[in-house]
């Protein structure tokens, strides 16, 4: 069991050397040497310790092979230090690979397959020029070479750069000094003394602790020396299994020292259960993300790999042309990068507010309080000029925070701790809300920087998608304008011919009954053509309102009385208070109201009830006209703007231009219109008119 554990750990050290084919920069290769030292030092220390307390000749085979591998680690370490100190850009990877490829198989054959040495007494002696003798010579040369390169590396750095490396260099000096003493003694007296190995075990353990402290305290893996997080993550599962096997092997050695022995079944079950435990933990997304969080916050200066996250979002945005696709891509990248399961995204603009479009792990249908953030909300105004809003923290730059911003009801409902804007230039297109980190950590500058980078990228893509959609709608409108021009031309011609027929018919027809029927038919056709002609005229770009001062309350009363007489089956209820002076076009207002009420009647049938209310806003700058019905409501996929898209209809006999016509007329009057579903059922259309 112990032999298997040691070979697994040595294999890890050797396998790590294969990364030289991917890590091209000297700094990253030096970081690889640090990782190899962190793996090799405890391995040697444990081997020395076990041999010292319970010496057995076969253990020396493992020690010699591990020392050979450690010599190669020091040799590569020295080459990489020399590359940095000499300011060369191209590391000597070819030389490294050649020496490793020759030395590893040769050492394995000599020390494992065909050892030509035997030890029968203590201290253990070996002949001159034997493989053990040559190994110590090679180890001594590698240690000396590494020490020389380390001294060059230290002189290469200025006094400010030396501070983070002082513990690391101290550990290296202690390690090199220990091996120089041990190898010199062995070569001088041709013996290996167990007590010396016990001392070496203690010294190497101290060196390993110093290196670990330097890496954790000064985050060496991201200061001049950088190791990709992906490389570190790939070693987690093998390292966890190796650590488990190492602990299990030590337990077996201790039990054997006290005369205890585990059965073969117990050993096999322990190893199998270890593999199962590591596999389960490795497949757990929550555990993997917690481990990733620990590594990112303890071994690296930056919490995130900004380049990787930015490229991940870029790849997902490739070929995406809709807002929904962009939001989905952003949400996926945030879920993979951040350490929270609660991600909320709103989209919109300053005119229509910001609608909730994505909520991780939540049903958006039950989040009515957070479904819409008003454009006048203090949160929106704050995020327009600040990069983030930390709910449970202080405002940036030390200013006093307006408490009303953080007391918004939906923030507590959704459990949010951080809000960040999706902003491109000066235009706020959306808001991202994050819940607390499941790791127990708090949001900091790294999170703000990542959200700023991804948010600006997503916001630019959203603006591009909106511009593309507007361009598509403009082309549809132009097509419709051309079509309407042809229809108008045909109708005018037909109308002229019918008018001429109407004028000449009394003179040419002698049958009074036939003449009367024909006249009635002609009158009816003329009336219908004129109505079509008037409606098509409003669909063209030539909408020129005839503004006049009017009282909206009086206009609504007269219009409702007139419309009720024409459509008595529709229950209309009017609620207006006092005069509401506006400057508008009564004819266009009539068309707007007629379209909206007919739309409600067609959707709800004879049982439709429509309530119309009008009032002025707080500032008195706008007149608010609300039309509510008790019908089936509006499909969610048509909100907030899809309902007003030309040629888009849910009615079998609909043309898809009625509500589009309404929006064009309202815009021509200088107003705005939006639709929503009433919480009590039915649809609500809100028209804002300037006073």
Residues 6+ apart with CB under 8 A from 510: none
pLDDT of residue 224: 47
**Token representation of residue 416:** 């949010």
pLDDT of residue 308: 78
Q: b vs e for 85-118, b when ≥16 Cβ sit within 10 Å of the residue's Cβ?
A: beeeeebbbeebeeebeebbeebeebbeeebebe
pLDDT of residue 205: 93
**Considering only the top CATH level, what class is 548-690?**
alpha beta
pLDDT of residue 210: 92
Please say whether the beta carbons of 625 and 690 come within 8 A. Answer: no
pLDDT of residue 594: 80
**Token representation of residue 28:** 């990253």
User: Integer distance in angstroms from the first to the last C-alpha of the chain?
Assistant: 88
Q: What is the 3-state secondary structure (H, E, C) of 452-520?
A: HHHHHHHHHHHHHHHHHHHHHHHHHHHHHHHHHHHHHHHHHHHHHHHHHHHHHHHHHCCCHHHHHHHHH
Greater pLDDT, 503 or 358: 358
| Residue where the block lists tokens 């219109």 | 673
pTM score, two decimals?
0.48
pLDDT of residue 552: 84
pLDDT at residue 174 greater than cutoff 90: yes
pLDDT of residue 172: 93
**475 pLDDT tier (thresholds 50, 70, 90):** confident
Q: Are strands 427-434 and 222-223 parallel, antiparallel or unpaired?
A: unpaired
pLDDT of residue 314: 86
Find which of 45-49, 115-119, 567-571, 653-657 is predicted with most confidence, using mean pLDDT: 45-49
Q: Which of 387-401, 596-610, 667-681 has the lowest mean pLDDT?
A: 387-401
Residues 6+ apart with CB under 8 A from 393: 442, 443
Percent of the chain with pLDDT over 70: 72
Greater pLDDT, 409 or 625: 625
Greater pLDDT, 303 or 226: 303
pLDDT of residue 71: 93
Q: From residue 466, how far is each of 345, 349, 373 by CA, in Å?
A: 17, 11, 20
**Token representation of residue 347:** 């989209």
pLDDT of residue 354: 84
Rounded to whole angstroms, how far apart are CA atoms 316 and 280?
A: 29
pLDDT of residue 361: 57
**178 pLDDT tier (thresholds 50, 70, 90):** very high
Greater pLDDT, 81 or 568: 81
pLDDT of residue 209: 93
Greater pLDDT, 54 or 488: 54
pLDDT of residue 347: 87
* pLDDT tens figures, 101-158: 887 787 776 766 555 454 545 577 888 888 888 889 999 999 999 999 998 888 888 7
**304 pLDDT tier (thresholds 50, 70, 90):** confident
- β-strand partners of 344: 359, 433
Q: Are strands 372-373 and 353-359 parallel, antiparallel or unpaired?
A: antiparallel
Rounded to whole angstroms, how far apart are CA atoms 691 and 292?
A: 59
Burial class of residue 125 in the structure, from the number of CB atoms within 10 Å of its CB (0-12 exposed, 13-18 middle, 19+ buried): middle
Burial class of residue 325 in the structure, from the number of CB atoms within 10 Å of its CB (0-12 exposed, 13-18 middle, 19+ buried): middle
Which among 240, 207, 227, 203 has a CA at the least distance from the CA of 8?
Answer: 240
Rounded average pLDDT over 59-64: 82
pLDDT at residue 541 greater than cutoff 90: no
Greater pLDDT, 371 or 490: 371
Please say whether the beta carbons of 360 and 335 come within 8 A. Answer: yes
pLDDT at residue 318 greater than cutoff 80: yes
Calculate the average pLDDT of the chain. 77
* pLDDT tens figures, 184-220: 999 988 888 888 999 999 999 999 999 988 888 777 7
| Residue where the block lists tokens 């591009």 | 464
Which among 287, 292, 394, 392 has a CA at the least distance from the CA of 338?
Answer: 292
Rounded average pLDDT over 8-30: 77
Burial class of residue 446 in the structure, from the number of CB atoms within 10 Å of its CB (0-12 exposed, 13-18 middle, 19+ buried): middle
Rounded average pLDDT over 574-597: 83
Which among 610, 674, 667 has a CA at the least distance from the CA of 642?
Answer: 674
| Residue where the block lists tokens 């045909």 | 490
pLDDT at residue 453 greater than cutoff 90: no
Residues 6+ apart with CB under 8 A from 316: 329, 332, 333
pLDDT of residue 176: 93
Return the domain boundaries, the chain. Answer: 2-227, 228-301, 306-467, 470-539, 548-690
User: What CATH fold (topology level) applies to the domain 2-227?
Assistant: Rhopdopsin 7-helix transmembrane proteins (1.20.1070)
**170 pLDDT tier (thresholds 50, 70, 90):** very high
Rounded to whole angstroms, how far apart are CA atoms 672 and 622?
A: 10
Greater pLDDT, 18 or 398: 18
User: What CATH fold (topology level) applies to the domain 306-467?
Assistant: Beta-Lactamase (3.30.450)
Greater pLDDT, 264 or 664: 664
pLDDT of residue 279: 67
The DSSP code for 163 is G
Rounded to whole angstroms, how far apart are CA atoms 410 and 369?
A: 6
Provide, for the chain, the percentages of residues in helix, strand and coil under a 3-state DSSP scheme, each rounded to the nearest 5: 65, 10, 25
pLDDT of residue 236: 65
**Chain length of the chain:** 691
Q: From residue 673, how far is each of 357, 374, 611, 635 by CA, in Å?
A: 21, 15, 17, 17
Peptide bond into 123 cis (omega under 30): yes
pLDDT of residue 138: 92
Rounded average pLDDT over 475-500: 61
Greater pLDDT, 186 or 506: 186
**Token representation of residue 29:** 């290769």
pLDDT of residue 624: 86
**398 pLDDT tier (thresholds 50, 70, 90):** very low
pLDDT of residue 533: 62
pLDDT of residue 555: 86
Residues 6+ apart with CB under 8 A from 681: 630, 633
* pLDDT tens figures, 232-289: 666 666 667 666 766 777 677 677 666 777 676 676 777 677 777 766 666 666 777 7
Please say whether the beta carbons of 434 and 417 come within 8 A. Answer: yes
Q: From residue 45, how far is each of 50, 183, 186, 198, 204 by CA, in Å?
A: 9, 16, 18, 8, 6
**443 pLDDT tier (thresholds 50, 70, 90):** confident
**Token representation of residue 660:** 């589009």
* 3-class secondary structure, 667: helix
pLDDT of residue 207: 94
Please say whether the beta carbons of 501 and 525 come within 8 A. Answer: no
**485 pLDDT tier (thresholds 50, 70, 90):** low
Please say whether the beta carbons of 135 and 69 come within 8 A. Answer: no
Percent of the chain with pLDDT over 90: 8
pLDDT at residue 401 greater than cutoff 60: no
Rounded to whole angstroms, how far apart are CA atoms 70 and 41?
A: 8
Burial class of residue 273 in the structure, from the number of CB atoms within 10 Å of its CB (0-12 exposed, 13-18 middle, 19+ buried): exposed
Q: Between vectors from CA 24 to CA 21 and to CA 28, what angle results, nearest 5°?
A: 110
Rounded to whole angstroms, how far apart are CA atoms 52 and 466?
A: 74
Rounded to whole angstroms, how far apart are CA atoms 183 and 180?
A: 5
């Amino acid at each position: 069991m112990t032999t298997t554990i040691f070979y697994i750990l040595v294999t890890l050290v050797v396998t790590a050397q294969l990364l030289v084919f991917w890590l091209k920069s000297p700094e990253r290769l030096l970081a690889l040497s640090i990782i190899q030292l962190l793996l090799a030092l405890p391995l040697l220390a444990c081997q020395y310790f076990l041999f010292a307390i319970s010496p057995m000749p076969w253990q020396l085979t493992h020690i010699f092979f591990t020392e050979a591998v450690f010599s190669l680690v020091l040799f590569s370490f020295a080459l990489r230090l020399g590359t940095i100190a000499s300011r060369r850009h191209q590391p000597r990877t070819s030389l490294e690979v050649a020496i490793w490829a020759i030395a590893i198989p040769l050492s394995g054959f000599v020390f494992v397959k065909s050892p030509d040495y035997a030890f029968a007494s203590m201290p253990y002696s070996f002949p001159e020029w034997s493989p053990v003798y040559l190994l110590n010579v090679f180890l001594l040369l590698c240690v000396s070479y590494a020490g020389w390169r380390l001294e060059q590396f230290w002189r290469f750095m200025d006094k400010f750069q030396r501070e983070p490396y002082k513990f690391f260099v101290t550990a290296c000096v202690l390690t090199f000094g220990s091996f120089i003493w041990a190898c010199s003694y062995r070569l001088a007296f041709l013996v290996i003394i167990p007590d010396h190995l016990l001392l070496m075990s203690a010294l190497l353990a101290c060196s390993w602790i110093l290196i670990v402290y330097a890496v954790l305290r000064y985050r060496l893996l991201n200061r001049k020396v950088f190791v990709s997080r992906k490389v570190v993550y790939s070693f987690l599962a093998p390292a966890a299994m190796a650590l488990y096997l190492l602990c299990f092997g030590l337990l077996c050695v201790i039990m054997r020292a006290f005369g205890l022995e585990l059965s073969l079944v117990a050993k096999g079950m322990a190893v199998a259960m270890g593999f199962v435990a590591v596999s389960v933990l490795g497949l757990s997304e929550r555990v993997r993300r917690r481990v990733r969080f620990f590594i990112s916050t303890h071994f690296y200066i930056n919490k995130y790999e900004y380049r990787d996250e930015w490229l991940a979002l870029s790849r997902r945005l490739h070929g995406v042309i809709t807002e929904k696709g962009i939001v989905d891509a952003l949400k996926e990248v945030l879920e993979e990068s951040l350490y929270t399961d609660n991600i909320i995204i709103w989209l919109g603009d300053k005119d229509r507010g910001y609608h909730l479009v994505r909520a991780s792990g939540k049903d958006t249908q039950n989040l009515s309080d957070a479904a819409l953030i008003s454009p006048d909300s203090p949160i929106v105004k704050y995020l327009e000029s600040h990069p983030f809003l930390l709910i449970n923290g202080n405002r940036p730059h030390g200013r006093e925070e307006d408490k009303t911003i953080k007391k918004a009801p939906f923030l507590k409902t959704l459990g949010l701790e951080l809000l960040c804007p999706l902003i491109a230039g000066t235009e706020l297109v959306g808001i991202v809300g994050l819940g607390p980190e499941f790791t127990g950590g708090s949001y900091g500058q790294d999170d703000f920087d990542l959200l700023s980078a991804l948010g600006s990228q997503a916001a630019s893509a959203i603006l591009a998608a909106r511009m593309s959609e507007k361009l598509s709608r403009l082309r549809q409108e132009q097509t419709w304008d051309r079509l309407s021009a042809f229809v108008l031309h045909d109708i005018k011609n037909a109308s002229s011919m019918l008018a001429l027929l109407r004028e000449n018919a009394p003179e040419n027809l002698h049958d009074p009954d036939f003449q009367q029927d024909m006249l009635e038919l002609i009158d009816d056709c003329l009336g219908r053509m004129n109505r079509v002609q008037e409606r098509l005229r409003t669909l063209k770009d030539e909408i020129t309102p005839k503004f006049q001062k009017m009282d909206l309350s009086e206009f609504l009363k007269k219009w409702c009385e007139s419309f009720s007489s024409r459509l008595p089956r529709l229950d209309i209820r009017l609620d207006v208070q006092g005069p509401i002076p506006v400057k508008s076009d009564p004819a266009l207002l009539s068309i707007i109201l007629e379209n909206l009420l007919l739309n409600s009647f067609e959707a709800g049938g004879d049982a439709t009830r429509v309530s119309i209310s009008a009032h002025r806003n707080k500032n008195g700058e706008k007149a608010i006209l609300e039309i509510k019905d008790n019908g089936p409501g509006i499909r969610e996929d048509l909100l907030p703007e899809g309902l007003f898209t030309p040629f888009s209809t849910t009615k079998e006999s609909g043309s898809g231009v009625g509500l589009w016509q309404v929006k064009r007329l309202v815009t021509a009057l200088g107003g705005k219109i939006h639709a929503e579903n009433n919480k009590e059922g039915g649809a609500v259309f809100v028209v804002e008119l300037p006073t």
